[in-house]
Amino acid sequence: MTPISGAAFAWAAVVKIPLVFAGLLVLIAFWTLVERRVAGFIQNRLGPNRVGPAGLLQPVADGLKNMFKEETLPPFADRFLFLLAPLMAFVPALITFAIVPVAAPLPTRWGLVGTAIADLPVGFLYILAISSLGVYGFTLAGWASNNKYSLLGGLRASAQMISYEVSMGLSAVAVLVLAGSITLGEIVQRQQQSTWFVIPLFFAFCLFLVAAFAETNRLPFDLPEAEAELIAGYHTEYSAMKFSMFYLAEYSNMVTASALMASLFFGGWDIPFTAWDDSAPWSFAKTAATFVSFWTKTLAFMFAYIWVRWTLPRFRFDQLMDLGWKVMLPIALAYVMVIGVAVWALEALGLPFGTRYALALGALNLVAAVALFWGLDRRRLIGGAGARARGPWRAPAAAAAAARTGGAD
Amino acid sequence: MTDDSPNPSVGALRVQFGAAVRRAAVTCGETIVYVARERARDILAWLKDAPTERYDYLADVTAVEYRDRERPIELVYQLWSLDRKELLRVKVELPQDEPLEVDSVVDLWQGANWLEREVYDMFGITFRGHPDLRRILMWETYSEGHPLRKDFPLRGRFSRSEQVRQALSGELDAHYSMEELSIADAYTTLPADMRERLRGRPAAQPGSAPPRTVAFDLFTPGPDAAGRATGVPLGVSAALEDAEPALRTDHMLLNVGPQHPATHGVLRLVVELDGEVVVRVIPHIGYLHSGFEKLGEYRHYNQIITLTDRTDYLSAMSNNVALALAAEKLMGITITERCVVLRVIACEMSRIVSHLVWAGTTAIDIGAFTVFLWMFQERERIYNLVEAWTGARLTTSLTRVGGLMADIPEGWAEELRRWCQRFPKTLDEVETMLSRNGIWLGRTQDVGVISGAEAINYSLSGPMLRASGVAYDVRKDRPYLGYESYDFDVPVGEHGDVYDRYLVRMEEMRQSARIILQALDRLPDGPINVSDPRVVLPPKSRAMADMEAMIFHFKQVMEGVPAPVGETYFAVENPRGELGTYLVSDGTAKPVRWRIRPPSFINLAALPRMAEGHLLSDLIAINASVDVVMGEVDR
Mean pLDDT, residues B14-22 taken together = 84
Q: Encode pLDDT of B25-40 as tens digits.
A: 888 888 889 998 888 8
Alpha carbon distance A229, A208 (integer Å): 27
Report pLDDT digits (tens) over A138-175. 888 888 887 888 888 888 888 888 888 888 888 888 88
How many domains are contained in chain B? 2
B140-166 mean pLDDT: 79
CB spacing of A384 vs B193 below 8 angstroms: no
Averaged over B481-487, what is the pLDDT?
89
Mutate to test the interface with A, among B85, B366, B476, B625 (most CBs of A within 10 A): B366
Set of chain A residues whose Cβ sits within 8 Å of the Cβ of B444: 384
Note the residue count of chain B.
Answer: 635
Residues spanned by the domain of B89: 9-128
Q: Do B262 and A229 touch (CB under 8 A)?
A: yes
Provide the whole-model pTM.
0.83
Query: With 80 as the cut, is the pLDDT of residue B209 above it?
Result: no
From the list B83, B252, B489, which residue is nearest A404 (CB)? Answer: B489
Question: How much is the pLDDT for A281?
Answer: 80
Distance from CA of A283 to the nearest CA of B (A): 46
pLDDT at B196: 56
Mean pLDDT throughout A264-278? 81
**Which pLDDT value is given to residue A393?**
30
A42 at interface of B, judged by CB pairs closer than 8 A:
yes
Test mutation, A229, A322, A381, chain B, max B CBs within 10 A: A229
Q: Judge: B439–A313 Cβ closer than 8 Å, yes or no.
A: yes
Contact B469 A394 (CB under 8 A): yes
pLDDT at B4: 58
- A-B C-beta contacts closer than 8 Å: 182
Shortest Cα distance, chain A CAs vs residue B422, angstroms: 16
Q: Is residue B224 part of a domain?
A: no
Query: Would the pLDDT of B348 be above 90?
Result: yes
Query: For a pLDDT cut of 90, what percent of chain A falls above it?
Result: 4
pLDDT in tens, B567-590: 999 999 999 999 999 999 988 888
The answer, yes or no, to whether residue B42 has pLDDT greater than 60, is: yes
Question: Which has more confidence, B264 or B196?
Answer: B264
How many other CB atoms are there within 10 angstroms of residue B143's CB atom? 10
Q: pLDDT tier at B594 (50, 70, 90 boundaries)?
A: very high
Better-predicted residue by pLDDT, B276 or B601: B601
Smallest Cα distance from B370 to chain A, Å: 6
CATH number of B389's domain = 1.10.645.10
B contact test, residue of A314, A317, A327, A376 with most B CBs within 10 A? A314
pLDDT at B345: 93
Q: Does the beta-carbon distance from B442 to A315 stay under 8 Å?
A: yes
Could you tell me the CATH number of the domain that includes residue B42? 3.30.460.80
Which of A316, A326, A390 to probe by mutation at the B interface, max B CB count within 10 Å? A316
Q: pLDDT, tens digit, for every residue of A314-362? A: 888 888 888 888 888 888 898 889 888 888 888 888 777 777 777 888 8
| Contact flag B441-A379 (C-beta cutoff 8 Å) | yes
Q: Rounded CA gap, A323 and B607, in Å? A: 29
User: Among B91, B111, B128, which residue terminates a domain?
Assistant: B128
Domain boundaries, chain A: 7-13+74-355
Q: Label residue B341 by pLDDT band (50, 70, 90).
A: very high
Chain B residues near residue A222 by CB distance under 8 angstroms? 367
**Whether complex ipTM tops 0.85:** no
User: Comparing C-alpha atoms, which of A164, A160, A176, A51 is closest to residue A124?
Assistant: A176
- Is A375 within 8 Å of chain B by CB? no
* B401 part of a folded domain: yes
Question: Does B616 sit within 8 Å of A379, measured CB to CB?
Answer: no
Chain B nearest-CA distance from A365, in A, is 23
User: Is B438–A376 a contact, with Cβ atoms under 8 angstroms apart?
Assistant: yes
| A405·B490 Cβ contact <8 A | yes
Q: Is residue B199 part of a domain?
A: no
Distance, CA of B465 to CA of B28 (rounded, Å) = 28
* pLDDT exceeds 60 at position B194: no
Q: Pick from B113, B128, B143: which residue ends a domain?
A: B128
Please determine, for residue B355, whether its predicted confidence score (pLDDT) is greater than 90.
yes
Under the banding of pLDDT at 50, 70 and 90, the label for residue A378 is low
Contact assignment for B82 to A222 by CB distance below 8 Å: no
Confidence class for position A2, pLDDT limits 50, 70, 90 = confident
* Neighboring chain A residues of B491 at a CB cutoff of 8 Å: 405-408
Q: Among B196, B447, B492, select the one facing A408 at the smallest CB separation.
A: B492
Integer Cα distance of B243 and B452 in angstroms:
34
C-beta separation of A246 from A89 below 8 A:
yes
Q: How far is the alpha carbon of A382 from chain B, nearest alpha carbon, in Å?
A: 7
Instruction: Show which of B98, B128, B158 is a domain's final residue.
Output: B128
**Least CB–CB distance from B441: residue in A384, A386, A388:** A384
Query: Is there a domain that residue B103 lies in?
Result: yes
In this complex, the residue of B196, B504, B615 whose CB is nearest that of residue A316 is B615
- Mean residue pLDDT across chain B: 81
Shortest alpha-carbon distance between residue B494 and chain A (Å) = 5
| Of the candidate ranges A94-98, B364-368, B433-437, the one whose mean pLDDT is the lowest | B433-437
Q: Would you say residue A126 has pLDDT above 80? A: yes
**3-class secondary structure per residue, chain A:** CCECCCHHHHHHHHHHHHHHHHHHHHHHHHHHHHHHHHHHHHCCCCCCCCCCHHHCCHHHHHHHHHHHCCCCCCCCCCHHHHHHHHHHHHHHHHHHHHHCCCCCCEEECCEEECCCCCCCCCHHHHHHHHHHHHHHHHHHHHHHCCCHHHHHHHHHHHHHHHHHHHHHHHHHHHHHHHHCCCCHHHHHHHHHHCCCCCCCCHHHHHHHHHHHHHHCCCCCCCHHHCHHHHCCHHHCCCCHHHHHHHHHHHHHHHHHHHHHHHHHHCCCCCCCCCCCCCCCCCCHHHHHHHHHHHHHHHHHHHHHHHHHHCCCCCCCHHHHHHHHHHHHHHHHHHHHHHHHHHHHHHHHHCCCCCHHHHHHHHHHHHHHHHHHHHHHHHHCCCCCCCCCCCCCCCCHHHHHHHCCCCCCC
- Is the pLDDT higher at B231 or at A88? A88
State the smallest CA–CA distance between residue A261 and chain B in angstroms: 24
Q: What is the pLDDT of residue B170?
A: 55
pLDDT digits (tens, 9 = 90+) for B529-549: 888 878 888 888 888 888 888
Answer whether A397 touches B (CB < 8 Å).
yes
> Which chain A positions have a beta carbon within 8 Å of B439's beta carbon?
220, 312-315, 319, 382
Region B90-109: what's the mean pLDDT? 88
- CB pair distance less than 8 Å for A313 and B366: yes
Distance (Å) from the alpha carbon of B11 to chain A's nearest alpha carbon:
25
- Over range B443-462, report the average pLDDT: 87
Residue of A184 and B251 predicted with greater confidence: A184
Q: B269: helix, coil or strand?
A: strand
> Which chain A residues are within 8 Å of B468, Cβ to Cβ?
393
**How far is CA B40 from its chain centroid?**
24
Those of residues 309-328 in A touching chain B at CB distance below 8 A are 310-319
pLDDT for B449 equals 86
**Mean predicted lDDT score pLDDT of chain A:** 81
Instruction: Tell me the pairing of strands B30-35 and B86-94.
Output: parallel
* CA pair distance A300, A258, nearest whole angstrom: 8
Residue A401 confidence (pLDDT) above 70? no
- Give the highest mean pLDDT range of A393-397, B229-233, B435-439, B597-601: B597-601
Within 8 A of B254 by CB-CB distance, chain A residues are: 148-149, 152
Answer yes or no: do A313 and B506 touch at CB < 8 A. no
Diameter of chain A measured on Cα atoms: 90
**Among candidates A219, A395, A404 on the partner chain, residue whose Cβ is nearest the Cβ of B367:** A219
For the segment A11-50, what is each residue's pLDDT rounded down to a tens digit? 888 888 898 889 888 899 889 899 999 999 988 888 888 8
Among the partner residues A39, A383, A396, nearest to B83 by beta-carbon distance? A396
Question: Which candidate from A310, A382, A404 shows the least CB-CB separation from B438?
Answer: A382
Q: What pLDDT, on a 0 to 100 scale, did the predictor assign at position A399? A: 36
